[in-house]
Structure 1
Amino acid sequence: MATEQKKSIRNLLQDKNIRYVFVAYFVTFMGTAMAPIAMAFGVLELTGSTKDSAIVIAAPVIASIAVLLLGGVIADRSSRQKVIISADSAALLIQLAMAYLFLSEQATVPLLTGLMLLNGIAIAFNAPAASGFIIQLVDKEDLQSINALLGTARNLALILGAALGGVLVSVVGAGWTIFLDALSFGVSALLVYLVKPKQQIKSESESILLDLKLGWGEFIAHKWVWVIVVQFAFVVAANEAIIGLIGPAVALDQLKGAEDWGLVVSAIGVGTLIGGLIGFRLNVRYPMRFATFCVLVPGLLPIALAFPLPLYGLMLIAVLEGIGWQLFGVLWMTTLQTKIKPHLLSRVCAYDYIGSVCLAPIGIILAGIFYESMGFRWVLLAAALVIILPTVFALFVKEVWFMQLDEPVID
């Protein structure tokens, strides 16, 4: 990548706006790292069924798919900052309600599913707004640096949050763990409110439908974008099933439960932290080629779980997976922010998110069904193939292989 890194970590953090966003990322992702562990084990303890757990875990993904495009349009048309604050505030209230249900022993699968659907709507408004908000914080030459920095915040949070989540679920239960996650959204909303970003570039249009059409036109104009999004529809489906459902179930059956799975997820966080630090200085000529190779690494974890390897072996592979995820994320987001027109960025990110997660509910539900009928080993090996095969296919696409950040895209 030919982009020169203009600012160090210290220089970036001297900016008050970036410090606020850094801490906001840290607290929300720390809570978010605890929440899936709490929800998965909470539902498994409630009903003992991976099918029930799959329904609850898949609910927010289904909801986010339904409204992501609207979230992207609103973020581009209005204020990304205000959208993030509103979404975080809504997530605070929803998580508090879920915590109350667990703590009062009134939790049921239908109630949790309904609240998780609402949580997915909040996520759908937050994600595209947050991606576009970054370009209002720094100059173009510092995009890779801030993406790596915010990735570091996210990864530190994953390390601490996943480990803490496993311990908290074992000691105080799912309810209090989800309560702490709720508080993290309140802190994030306050910090984002304090940020003073650069003026948002907006485009005037006549209707939401026209805005969606313009965003779609920009999305399909770049072949490397939609090819990788199609790839990730399969990759995310498999990964969500592994991290959110099959992994916790295997941990209960083959390992020592929530604490061991918390350590594995924490190891992914360690890897993403390492990847974030590498991302500050990473300089590759073909960013999407390199990034796509990185996605092959996560295919190793389901293979390791299928046998399974001892805990230390799983944690080592999880570290490598984290490095791969983070390097891909830094290069992907930097390339999007560089190549996509600024006033269309949130909409393109919305198409990215919706395409990437569209198969996740199906993957989670099928994993829950086949886990009980076929056993964990075959499900995990199938998940590994679902990650590896589309990734290999993407590498054969010319625009993915040859596109350079400092040259026009070959489309």
Structure 2
Amino acid sequence: MLIALRCLGAAPETIRRLGFSGGEESLSAPSIPSRRPRGPLTERNFLMLFGARAISSLGDGISLVALTFAMLDLAGPKGLALVLLAREIPTVALLLLGGVWADRMSRRRLMIAANVAMFGAQAASGALVLSDSAAVWKIALLQVGYGLGNALFLPASLSVVPQSVSPGHLQKANALLALSRNGLGVIGPMAGALLVATVGAGWGMAADAGTFLLAAIAFSFMRITDPKREKAESVLTELKGGWKEFTSRTWVWTIISSFGLFQLAVFPVFMVLGARIAKEDLGGAAAWGGLLAATSVGAILGALVATRVKPRLPLVFGQFLILPVGLFFVLFAVGAPLLVLQGVAVFAWACSELGDTLWYTALQENVPEEALGRISSFDFFGSQVFKPIGFALVGPVGAAIGSHTVMLGSAGLLVVVTVGILFVPGVWQVRSGVPAPALEPAAAE
């Protein structure tokens, strides 16, 4: 976008008003640096974090295929649904507790413990499958342990990023994490499919377990200083303190609420009704696979762009980045050609991934470090809690009023909510590179 503004002859002052940082010198011919600048991957703590998250993302992709086929072979779709539900329920139910623990103990140790728990769950599940002694209830019980570990890991993994990298590298660090997650999110399922086809689903689950063990080892090499706390309060008291921190920032709770709405009325619509339209109107499974691939390519490109673009008003700019998803839905609903949909999907998901990176960076820069774990847990909770409801409702609603109508309505709702967020004053007050404020004592009461 910055390049386009330059080509259109926009003045430097105009470009700055639109939220891009940098003076006139940054808009002229680039100067040649005297030496290559250091980046996040040159810092030991972030390198360990990056490596651990990358190997875990690879394992997640492998597990996505291996666990699915293991359960389909064992008990069919109903068994698979039960096992996945057993994994998701503790993740959602215990996320807020995970945020409290991320703020009251070593985040590094918490991530190690969480990865060991997920290693144990996947290793035992793989062993059951390999020994032909698997049963739905056994795998489901083990996946409850996986969900518990995931609930502890998610808030800690987001809140530990500022501790692992220099402040000037925070956005690039988030972009690199997104890049590895999206890139390996494509490679992982392919590796999982290869393992299932050659040596079986049980070995695929064992490979996933191994990635969690390697991640735990990588986390053990991090050397970070945790936020200092005056005193440890009860879990309930600290949860209330986190809630006060959360509700005191209008820009935080309004944007997280919009994420929840996205998971309720947008993501399930795409995954369910989008697949139905692709099957009926676009050519079937090949068309649907092509669209999903386009979204993955877009997410990777968005993460790459996020390493370079740093607008001064990240949340305002991020809201505009959501709108292309609405355009994609409209084109999907009105029957645009597959090639057009794939191109728009790449663009829309690139914008969405860039917006996510800007959001995580703004959260990490503008929330007190000692409360970041709890607020991160509210972020994950708000983004996940409505997803099951959306999946439960989208089928009946689509059958009642039509898939195309639901997609148009979802696009309209997305645009209304996105534009509405721009009327929140706090969204305009968040600037890139602003140090996080200290936690006020009243917030922890």
2:45–2:165 CA contact under 8 A, matched in 1: no
Aligned to 1:13: 41
- Whether contact under 8 Å (2:39, 2:169) holds in the other structure is no
Residue 207 in 1 paired to residue 237 in 2? no
* 2:316 matched residue in structure 1: 289
What is the 5 A alignment of 1:132-147? 132-147=159-174
Higher relative contact order (CA 8 A, sep 6+): 1
Question: Which residue of the partner structure matches residue 354 of structure 1?
Answer: 381
**1:21–1:167 Cα change, 3 Å:** same
Q: How many angstroms does 1:381 deviate by? A: 5.4
C-alpha distance after superposition, 1:147-200 (max 9, x if no partner): 122222222212322444456567766544444333221221111111122344
SS at match of 1:281: coil
Distance 2:148 2:210 in 1: 18
| 1:231-380 correspondence runs (5 A) | 231-238=258-265, 241=268, 257=285, 264-299=291-326, 315-367=342-394
Q: Distance in 2 between matches of 1:114 and 1:247?
A: 32
SS in 1 for 2:307: helix
Change (3 A) 1:9 1:394: farther
Deviations 1:249-292 (A, max 9, x none): 778887665x8766644433322222122112213232111112
What residue is the counterpart of 1:228 in the other structure? 255
* Structure 1 counterpart of 2:120: 93
1:400 is the counterpart of 2:427: yes
User: Kindly tell me: are residues 406 and 92 of structure 1, through their superposed partners in 2, closer, same or farther at Cα, counting changes over 3 Å?
Assistant: closer
TM-score for both structures, normalised by structure 2:
0.76
Letter matched to residue 177 of structure 2:
L
Return the letter of the residue paired with 1:60.
R
Task: Extract unaligned runs of 5+ from structure 1.
Answer: none
CA distance in 2, matches of 1:408, 1:194: 27
> Conserved in 1, the CA contact under 8 Å of 2:330 and 2:407?
yes
Q: CA deviation at 1:323?
A: 1.2
Unpaired runs of 5+ in structure 2?
Answer: 1-18, 27-32, 437-445
Distance 1:283 1:14, change over 3 A: closer
Deviation at 1:203, TM superposition (A): 4.2
Partner SS, residue 316 of structure 1:
helix
Moved more, 26-35 or 343-352: 26-35
- State the distance in 2 between where 1:109 and 1:248 align: 28
- Structure 1 residues 117, 341: closer, same or farther in 2, change over 3 A? same
Deviations 1:344-400 (A, max 9, x none): 111111111112212112122334666788876566556555644433332332322
Deviations 1:96-148 (A, max 9, x none): 34445555666666555444433222111001111111121123222112112
* 1:36 CA displacement: 3.7
- Aligned position for 1:24: 52
- The SS at the match of 2:165 is coil
**Cross-structure match for 1:64:** 91
CA distance in 2, matches of 1:41, 1:239: 27
Match of 2:12 in 1: none
Closer, same or farther in 2 for the Cα pair 1:91/1:341, shift >3 Å? same
C-alpha distance in 1 between matches for 2:349 and 2:150: 22
Residues 73 and 407 of structure 1, relative CA distance in 2, 3 Å threshold: closer
Report the equivalent of 1:33: 61
CA contact (8 A) 1:163 1:263 kept: no
Q: 1:130 aligns with which of 142, 145, 157?
A: 157
SS in 1 for 2:39: helix
Counterpart Cα distance in 2 of 1:161 and 1:204? 43
| Distance change (3 Å), C-alpha of 1:317 and 1:97 | farther
**Count of residue pairs the alignment pairs up:** 407
Evaluate the alpha carbon distance shift between residue 250 and residue 17 of structure 1 in structure 2; reply closer, same or farther with a 3 A threshold: farther
- Partner letter of residue 345 of structure 1? L
Q: Distance in 1 between matches of 2:267 and 2:239?
A: 27
Q: Which amino acid aligns with 1:344?
A: A
Aligned residue identity for 1:18: F
Compared with structure 1, are the counterparts of its residues 369 and 343 closer, same or farther at alpha carbon in structure 2 (3 Å cutoff)? same
Are 1:2 and 1:406, in contact at CA under 8 Å, matched by a contact in 2? no
- CA RMSD for the aligned pairs? 3.9
TM-score by length of 1: 0.82
Supply the distance in 1 between the matched residues of 2:350 and 2:217 (Cα, whole angstroms): 31
CA–CA distance in structure 1, aligned partners of residues 105 and 241 of structure 2: 16
**Closer, same or farther: CA 250–124 of 1 in aligned 2, 3 Å:** farther
